[in-house]
Each structure stands twice: as structure tokens, then as C-alpha cells.
Structure 1
Amino acid sequence: MKILRNKAYARAGFLGNPSDGYHGKTISFIVQNFSAEVVLYEWDSVEIVLAEQDRARFRSVRDLANDVKLHGYYGGIRLVKATIKRFVEYCRERDIELHDQNFSIRYSSDIPRQVGLAGSSSIIVATLRCLMEFYDVKIPLQAQPTFVLTVEQEELGISAGLQDRVIQVYEGLVYMDFNQSAENLSDGFKTYKYEHLNPDQLPNIYVAYHDGLSEPTEVYHNDIRGRVLRGEQIVVDAMNRFAEIAEEGREALVTIDFDLLSDLINENFDLRQSISKLPNWQVEMIQVARACGVSAKFAGSGGAIVGTYQNEKMLEKLRDRMASIGVKTILPKIKSS
């Protein structure tokens, strides 16, 4: 029996987020320290196996309430089901004949949940890779991020931008230009300009996350989207500046200007704070990190931060101070060894 295994990794938004959902520009990198893995093998029926994260049994009602508070109502099963449905429709629309062999599919993930490291989209990307391999269907690389986004937006009603899906499909370190002038079509899907950058040109990078507190991505994005659609000038101007920050950050990476890069990282968060009321525990992560001398911004919707540090002494101080507030600090693995 042939067993297919595919992974998709966590990611960190380095600069420009959250402008990706508003025709902005971003830089992101993959975090290979964490991943979602999907396993698929031939079976006599189509079976989606419950994962550990899809809890249906609890020690008490208080345990249930705490789990919902931390992780929301939704597990990964809906992501797998929605991806399969969309994949079948994709093939039907293009007259691609699928063989009749059924399969069992399961997922597992060690990506910290709902802290802004793109755990949900990683399950969809890994599922899509298994389906393409099982049925020998090749969706163009550039079209895959938009395919994944349609699964989330149109099938599940999740508010999101393309950034996470692009970096999880392309991997490494990627600069993304979502301006309408960069818009194109690939296999019927809207695409933009995606450019691989050299991870060797990055300075010392850390990622820190709080695994005891979390907040669904929708809590942040839905509020911002409504304000943009209403034309609230301060938010519209902020989105334009986020895009400029990413563009300037790309140049700073190319010219190895780490001081400018650090300033841009800090500005990215300060700008975000200026247009949002952020939870105190998320702001505290930034404040504690910056007190150690490092730069710091959100890696996604909140709950995880990313930044640069100068030396090992600064890193050790950061680890100690972050641990004192329940936050773990890691050095992201961006390149495959």
C-alpha cells in the first residue's frame, strides 16, 4: 500500500503585514521548526481521520470552555473536507478525470494554534499536495496560493490574505507584491508578483510565541477590513505605509542594511498599534522584547512576534525575559539543510 506524506510549515510575516489583503506588499519566511503533516493512503472508502486537535471528549465542562476559549470551535477536519471538495470541483471544471480509488486521510500539526503562525492554511497546503500526488494532477505553483485562499474564503468564510498561502507554497524567504498592477492570471486564478529572496542575507532572527493565550485571526482581520471598506483614512494610509515598509525592507535586505531593517520592523508594529486596540498581553510581548534591545513586531495576527537581535548575549536576555511572561523564543529554521 502506497502511503503519501506531505508537510507544510509555519510562517512568520516579516514586514508589511497585514497589507497583503489590501493590495499591499509583504515579506515572509517559512518556519520549519513547526509543520502540519498530512498522510494519505488507499482505502476502501473516503475517510477523514480525527486528529488529536479535533477534541470531542473533555474532562469537564470547564475543560471544554477553556479549550474553546484558547482554540475556538473549529478543528482541522473542516479544512481537509473543504480542500477535497474544492479540488474535486477544480478537476470537474477542467474536465480532469479522477480515478475511482478511495483513500484515508489524516493530519497532525505541532504549529502553535491561533498565535499568528498560519496553522490553518498549512493543513490546507499539505492536503492539496497529497491530493495532487494521489491523483497525479498538477496545479501550477503560482496558482496554488490562490486556490488555498479560495478554500478558506469561499468554502469556510475565513477572512485572510494571500501572504500565508504564498510563503507556505513557495517556502524560503519571499517578497510579495499584491498591487493591482502586478496582477496576473494563472490557470484561472488571480496571482501577483512573488520573488524569492536570499535567506543568507537575513540578520539574526528570532520568533517568540505565547502558547497559553491565543486569538483567532478573524478577530483582527474582520475589524480592519470593515474600516478599509468604509474608507477610514487613517487605516487606508496605514495600509499604504505597510506596503512601503515591505518595499524598503526588501532594499535593506539586498544592501545588508540591518539598522534600517530593525527600524522598519519596529515601525511596522507601531503603525499597527496606531490603528488597532490590541490585547494587553500581546503588547506586553513587544514591550518586553524591545526592552532587551531587539526589534519586534507581530508575526501574524498576534500571539507571536518576530524581530532581529545583535548577539548571543542579547538573545539570552530575550529568552529569559520572555520566559518570565510565559513566552517561548526560538531561532527559526528557514532553509532546508
Structure 2
Amino acid sequence: MIIETSSYPRAAVIGNPSDGYFGKTIAFVFSNFVARVQLYQTPELEIKPQRLDITSYPNMQALVEDINFAGYYGGMRLLKGMIKVFFEYCQTNNIQLASKNFTIRYDSNIPLRLGLAGSSAILSSFLKAMCLFYEVYINPATFANLVLSVENNELGISAGLQDRVAQAFEKPVFMDFDKKTMEKQGYGNYEVLNTTNFPNFYIAYRKNLSEGTETVHNNLKARFNIGEKKVLQAMKRWAQITEEFKVALTNKDNDTMHNLINENFDLRRALIPISKGNIEMVDMARSVGASAKFTGSGGAIIGTYKDEIMFSKLKGTLNDHNIEVIKPNIVNN
């Protein structure tokens, strides 16, 4: 029997990058792209290398193009880390795993290193498959923690829970990572949101602006840890913005949501160095009346638009600069 699972990219609607700093965020996953896993029983445990894992190139130019596409690390380290974390979780919780092995194949068309949580989508899809294969149930909050621990603890990648929570629930989620709550129960308070009052969202991206989570978040974490006042104030405001956005969502107050999305980015811009290309992408989106902020760590943006006329202007303006614009198919399983 072949087990097939999938997971989707994440869009951070509001509050990021406070998710790793006891803040509050809202995020959803969308099915325009997907990370898929195939897992089936075999005599030995085997991980099949995919495009992200190639080690042979026709020339140096091909190697450089591959690095520009996927970065320096492929998917093998992700999958190995997930196996280790899953195995140790089962041992710690006295979960007896059946004595059988598997072969794992994975594939993803999620644009890489653009703040769309492509790596955690691969991990989430793989963890789903192992849970099905070994008949182990893991609740969504714990599921998200395990995925995050692969990146944080096993691979040394600085990241927060937001991406993994959205991918674990596969619904839009309001997340409160209050420090006392996190210390008490090991995860935040998560509330699934109704999409009925959601505004018109768009997502835009271009591959040559990828920055990678490690580049952006490592410096911010250090500044947070030493208690830099400007950083602490920003984290507090991002949490307030998220609460205000949630109220606006309930009231279907699109103007307030528009303004809060813009403030979210402007606050980030005042705190973290942002590349010229990323700023230009935000400014172009705003020039037609849309709101705009990062979906994650940079390279892709999310925002709201009023109507189809504005979306057409948005798409035309950004397409002229080789920027893709899509309407996200929000997953609400």
C-alpha cells in the first residue's frame, strides 16, 4: 500500500515576525502549490533523493543556478531530522512502533526561500505519512511542535511555530504565543477562524528575491534576547495589530484590515534592513491601492485588494516587473 500525503504553503496574514517571540499572529495555508509525499513499506528504510538533493552537475553554472533555486541545503536533511524527531517522540511517550521500514519519496512545487514555509510543508507532509504508516495519532498542537523542533533543534534554523500550526490545522488560525501559556502547556492558544468575513487576499512573489529565514531571523533573535527596547516595543505592537485585525475581521471592516497590514510591514521596515527589491514590490502593490506586507521572511508579499478592477491593475503592474500575482485558494479542511 502506498500512502500519499500533502501539505501546503503558509501565508502570514498579520503579526509576523512575532511568532517566535511570544507574539500573536494569523495565518492560513493555500493550495495553489503543494508538497507531496509518497511512503510505502520496504525491507530497508530509504529516502529517495529528489531535485533538491542532486549532487552531480554538468558544469559550475548549473550548480550556481541550483543554489539560486534551492539554497545550499536540500530536502534530505529535513527528512532525516523528521524521522529522528518522530522516533524519539514515540520512545518518550511509550508508543510502540510496528517493526517495519519504508521508502519515502517527496516532491514540492512551492516556490523556495520566499517566506512561504516550503520546508515545513515537506516536513508536515512527511510526518502525516509516518503517522498513517505506523498508526500514531498526534494532536495538531503537538504536531506543529515536532515539525518546528526539526528545524530549530536538529538543523539550527531559527523559526517560529506559526507556519507549522497553520499547516497542522489546515485552517486559518489565530495564534497567541503568550510566554506563560507556552511555558505551561508547551504551545500557544490556537483558535480556528471562519473565512466568511475574509477580505480579498492576493499573494505576489518573484524568485530572485529569496532571502531565507535564517538570514532575517537570526539577527532579530539576538536583538530580542538582549532586550533591545525597539525590538520589544515592535513585538508588543505586532501582537496588538493582530488583535485589532481579528476584531476587524469579525466586523468585516476591510479598511481597518487594509491599514493594519500596511502598518505591519512599515513597523518591520523600521526594525529590520529590507532589500531594495522587496521594498519596491511592496510599494508597487500599494501604488494601485492594495495593502502589502511580507508573507514570511521576504521575497513574497500578501495584501488585500478592493475589487476585480484593482486586482487587474495590481496584476498588470507587478507582472510588468516579472512578479507573479495569484489569488490564494485558502484551505479550510
Q: Which bracket does the TM-score occupy, shorter chain normalised?
A: over 0.9
AA partner of residue 281 (structure 2): M
AA partner of residue 229 (structure 1): N
Aligned pair count reads: 333
**Counterpart position of 1:259:** 255
Give how far 1:63 is off. Answer: 2.2
Give how far 1:185 is off. Answer: 5.7
**Counterpart position of 1:178:** 177
AA partner of residue 8 (structure 1): S
AA partner of residue 218 (structure 2): N
1:204 maps to which of 197, 200, 204: 200
Give how far 1:276 is off. Answer: 1.1
Contact 1:71 1:216 in 2 (8 A): no
AA partner of residue 61 (structure 2): R
Quickly say closer, same or farther: Cα 1:24–1:185, change in 2 above 3 A: same
> Matches of 1:185 and 1:127 in 2, distance apart?
28
> Matches of 1:289 and 1:182 in 2, distance apart?
37
> Matches of 2:218 and 2:101 in 1, distance apart?
38
1:216 maps to which of 179, 188, 212: 212
> Matches of 1:331 and 1:182 in 2, distance apart?
35
**Counterpart position of 2:34:** 35
> Matches of 1:92 and 1:203 in 2, distance apart?
45
What is the DSSP-based 3-state SS (H/G/I as helix, E as strand, rest coil) of the residue aligned with 2:57? coil
**Counterpart position of 1:279:** 275
Query: Tell me, which stretches of 5 or more residues in structure 2 are unaligned?
Result: none
What is the DSSP-based 3-state SS (H/G/I as helix, E as strand, rest coil) of the residue aligned with 2:302? strand
**Counterpart position of 2:137:** 138
What is the DSSP-based 3-state SS (H/G/I as helix, E as strand, rest coil) of the residue aligned with 1:56? coil
> Matches of 2:106 and 2:47 in 1, distance apart?
9
Contact 1:212 1:326 in 2 (8 A): no
Does residue 318 (structure 1) correspond to residue 317 (structure 2)? The answer is no
Give how far 1:151 is off. Answer: 1.1
The one-character-per-residue Cα deviations of 1:87-121 (angstroms, maximum 9, x if unpaired) are 11111122222112211101100100000000000
1:250 maps to which of 237, 246, 251: 246
2:236 maps to which of 219, 240, 252: 240
Contact 1:206 1:332 in 2 (8 A): yes
Contact 1:70 1:213 in 2 (8 A): no
Does residue 195 (structure 1) correspond to residue 191 (structure 2)? The answer is yes
Give how far 1:289 is off. Answer: 0.5
AA partner of residue 273 (structure 2): K
CA RMSD of aligned residues (A): 1.3
AA partner of residue 148 (structure 2): L
- Which portions of structure 1, spanning 4 or more consecutive aligned residues, are displaced by more than 4 angstroms? none
What is the DSSP-based 3-state SS (H/G/I as helix, E as strand, rest coil) of the residue aligned with 1:322? helix
Bigger shift: residues 255-264 or 57-66: 57-66
Quickly say closer, same or farther: Cα 1:6–1:254, change in 2 above 3 A: same
Query: Tell me, which stretches of 5 or more residues in structure 1 are unaligned?
Result: none
Give how far 1:57 is off. Answer: 2.5
TM-score using structure 1 length: 0.96
AA partner of residue 68 (structure 1): I
What is the DSSP-based 3-state SS (H/G/I as helix, E as strand, rest coil) of the residue aligned with 1:200? coil
**Counterpart position of 2:10:** 11
Bigger shift: residues 111-120 or 204-213: 204-213
**Counterpart position of 2:330:** 334
> Matches of 2:94 and 2:224 in 1, distance apart?
39
**Counterpart position of 1:162:** 161
